Amino acid sequence: MIKLDPKVPDGPLAEKWNKYKSSQDLVNPANKRKLDIIIVGTGLAGASAAASLGEMGFKVKVFGIHESPRRAHSIAAQGGINAAKNYPNDGDSIYRLFYDTVKGGDYRSREANVYRLAEVSNNIIDQCVAQGVPFAREYGGMLANRSFGGALVSRTFYARGQTGQQLLLGAYSAFMKEINRGNVTFYPKREMLDLVMIDGKARGIITRELNTGKIERHSAHAVVIATGGYGNVFFLSTNAMNSNGSAVWQCYKRGAAFANPCFTQIHPTCIPVHGEYQSKLTLMSESLRNDGRIWVPKKKEDAQRIQKGELKPTEIPEEDRDYYLERRYPAFGNLVPRDVASRAAKERCDAGYGVGNTGLAVYLDFADAIKRLGKSVIEARYGNLFQMYEKIVDDNPYETPMMIYPAVHYTMGGTWVDYELQTTIPGLFATGEANFSDHGANRLGASALMQGLSDGYFVLPYTLQNYLADQINVPRFSTDLPEFDTVEKDVKSRIDKIMNVKGDKTVDTFHRRLGHVMWDYVGMGRNEEGIRKALSEIKEIKEDFWKNVRIPGHPEDVNLELEKALRVADYLELGELMALDALDRKESCGGHFREEYQTPEGEALRNDKDYTFVSVWEYKGDGEAPALHKEPLNFEFIEVKQRSYK
């Protein structure tokens, strides 16, 4: 039975983190050298933690699935990073950033964590500038800001459309600096396949070297999981192909409880799916909604003719267009938050008004903006995005409206952590998107980068030290201990089992099928009947998978099919848990929309009385139903309100 203690320090909100830092335990420099830390993942959260902990003097071992830490998917974030600097003098403050984040998350996040996030946001910007991150600047040499969804102030710092890349390269460079100094070791091309525990504490991992297939053991005094989200359960998502949920899932199976698995963010502006062979969805920055107007045809027959390719969007007269966001949400119009915009697009397409050859797309039209501002202004603002769109779709968005459709983008759920980012397994920490994080049921734009770096640079170095302080006398662990033997045997038998199925279907067939089920029933709109259907279908796919998957080649070699298969095996179980969680949460909040719980106007209807808690799932064994625990959320410093964008 797990114990859920969030360990939030007492006292006023604004003083909690300082209080924690000033009363925590420390490790002296000579002892830091004797303590090992494993970090799995090299994205913003992993790389920044590796650098900071290495600088402090700990011996850090970092594991990544790529040959280079810089290939982690944080690199792909486009828009920006929030901070409460208030440089534009528009009334921003730490409290406001905190408030916006809690509200944006539909009041399903932990107050103290979010406040700390807002508090350290400013340090992140300072740190990144010191590292040489080339943020956008004004002519006077000062940093530039822009605004993003869900906020009334301009607090987003950016580096063209490549903010994630620049922040990751900053963290990566600090990380490389520490490798050069000798405190940090990077193990490239290692996939974590299991967690090793000794006396109830996380003490090591088992990895597979992807270039040789070698199974390896690594020990440490503490383990940090920074492997990102599990959006690839859906097969098609904006995540990178190799982003996966296996590390998090293996930790779950070893006892680290999983929080809010059903909270998934569906991003409204992605390039629509164009065929069954499609492997990946491409995001178009949210900033496009500043000037683009979203619409579908008003008449169903127009929509049908467009789907058949008989009619062009430019041939539809103004009065026959339905600017549904402006119609439904006159106050926010095209700039409603991501979850609301995504759902509205789905509603129109489900009703038969969708465009494109699949009928699963809506228009994002810049004609008005081009008329108002001129083509050159639009080109300056969005030129690179328009060019990217044209390369992919082969259509000129300056002339015909862009087609967009929502796609899975981010998972707010993840491994449950307390205020110290420690999971329910002592010595196992989770940071960044891998933990259930600070975003509640919906994440605001430009907040993911903030959270990853906050965890890695400014939170974990303190809390992990606090954990290690009483272990200075614990010697390094040998990897010959029986605990390592057992877990390695588990891993090897899992690999043997999957290799020996020798069926007749490729891994992707199962992944694609799972993706369809998840998207249809545990996607943007969910209802009890659908979720139950999903649960039974996932079960079928799982059975089929273990009977019929085919993996050519050998496990002791580069084997991309084996890598995928191990991940898909975990996705099948993870998908099931997501569905269970979605079934249990009988309310609509943020990214979780239960069709049974909506207002007469079709808006999300939260149930604060019964569901103001974090759903924390505990693994109970293979084939057993997981146990649900509830961490109540108490809002002491914020008034809980219904979100409205009308």
Partner 1 sequence: MNFTLKIWRQENPNAKGGFETYQLSDISADASFLEMLDILNEQLVMEGKVPVAFDHDCREGICGTCSLYINGRPHGPDSGITVCQMHMRNFKDGSTITIEPWRARAFPVIKDLMVDRQAFEKIIMAGGYISVNTGNAIDANSIPIPKQAAETAMDAAACIGCGACVAACKNASAMLFVSAKVSQFAVLPQGKIEAKRRVKNMVSRMDELGFGNCTNTYACEAECPKNISVSHIARMNREFFISKVTSPKKEV
> What residues between 611 and 630 interact with partner 1 by CB under 8 A?
none
Residues 84, 64: Cα–Cα separation, whole Å = 32
For the bound state, the minimum distance from the C-beta of residue 453 to partner 1, rounded and expressed in Å, comes to 10
List the beta bridge partners of residue 408.
266
Q: Which of residues 482-541 bind partner 1 (CB under 8 A)?
A: 504, 506, 508
Stretch that binds partner 1, among 28-36, 104-112, 139-147, 397-405 (CB under 8 A): 139-147
**DSSP-derived 3-state class of residue 248:** helix
Q: Which amino acid is at 278?
A: Q
Q: Characterise 363 by phi-psi region: left (phi > 0), alpha (psi -120 to 50), beta (else).
A: beta
The strand order across the sheet containing 258-259 reads: 414-415, 258-259, 613-618, 627-632
Among 24, 93, 131, 400, binds partner 1 (CB under 8 A): 131
Among 174, 408, 534, 538, binds partner 1 (CB under 8 A): 174
Q: Characterise 198 by phi-psi region: left (phi > 0), alpha (psi -120 to 50), beta (else).
A: beta
Site string for partner 1, 102-121 (x = CB under 8 A): --------------------
Among 3, 23, 139, 623, binds partner 1 (CB under 8 A): 139
For the bound state, the minimum distance from the C-beta of residue 41 to partner 1, rounded and expressed in Å, comes to 14
For the bound state, the minimum distance from the C-beta of residue 126 to partner 1, rounded and expressed in Å, comes to 4
Among 180, 482, 609, 624, binds partner 1 (CB under 8 A): 180
For the bound state, the minimum distance from the C-beta of residue 281 to partner 1, rounded and expressed in Å, comes to 9
Query: Is the Cβ of residue 552 or residue 602 nearer to partner 1 in the bound state?
Result: 552
Q: Where are the beta strands (DSSP E) in 323-435?
A: 362-365, 402-411, 414-415, 428-430
Q: Which of residues 449-468 bind partner 1 (CB under 8 A)?
A: 457-458, 461
72 and 226 Cβ atoms separated by less than 8 Å? no
- Encoded tokens for 454: 């906050």
Site string for partner 1, 365-394 (x = CB under 8 A): -----------------------x--xxxx
Check 110, 208, 338, 606 and give the catalytic one: 338
Is residue 494 flagged as an active site residue?
no
Task: Write out the H or E segment, with its range, that includes residue 48.
Answer: helix 44-56
Q: Report DSSP state, residue 15.
A: G
93 and 84 Cβ atoms separated by less than 8 Å? yes
33 and 188 Cβ atoms separated by less than 8 Å? no
Site string for partner 1, 201-220 (x = CB under 8 A): ----------x---------
Q: Which of residues 579-618 bind partner 1 (CB under 8 A)?
A: none
Among 93, 123, 527, 598, binds partner 1 (CB under 8 A): 123
Number of residues counted as binding partner 1 (CB under 8 A): 82
163 and 157 Cβ atoms separated by less than 8 Å? yes
- Encoded tokens for 206: 């088992």
Stretch that binds partner 1, among 167-175, 329-337, 419-427, 528-536 (CB under 8 A): 167-175
Among 26, 241, 377, 380, binds partner 1 (CB under 8 A): 241
Tokens 């993840």 -> residue: 414
Q: Which of residues 22-51 bind partner 1 (CB under 8 A)?
A: 48, 51
Measured N-to-C along each axis, helices 528-548 and 560-584 cross at an angle, to the nearest 10 degrees, of 160
- Encoded tokens for 502: 């020798």
Phi (first) and psi of residue 107, to 5 degrees: 55, 45
**DSSP-derived 3-state class of residue 119:** helix
Site for partner 1 contains 162 (CB under 8 A): yes
For the bound state, the minimum distance from the C-beta of residue 394 to partner 1, rounded and expressed in Å, comes to 6
Among 45, 62, 84, 125, binds partner 1 (CB under 8 A): 125
Helices (H), 324-474: 324-328, 338-350, 367-373, 375-393, 448-453, 460-468
Query: Is the Cβ of residue 290 or residue 509 nearer to partner 1 in the bound state?
Result: 509
Query: Is the Cβ of residue 202 or residue 541 nearer to partner 1 in the bound state?
Result: 541
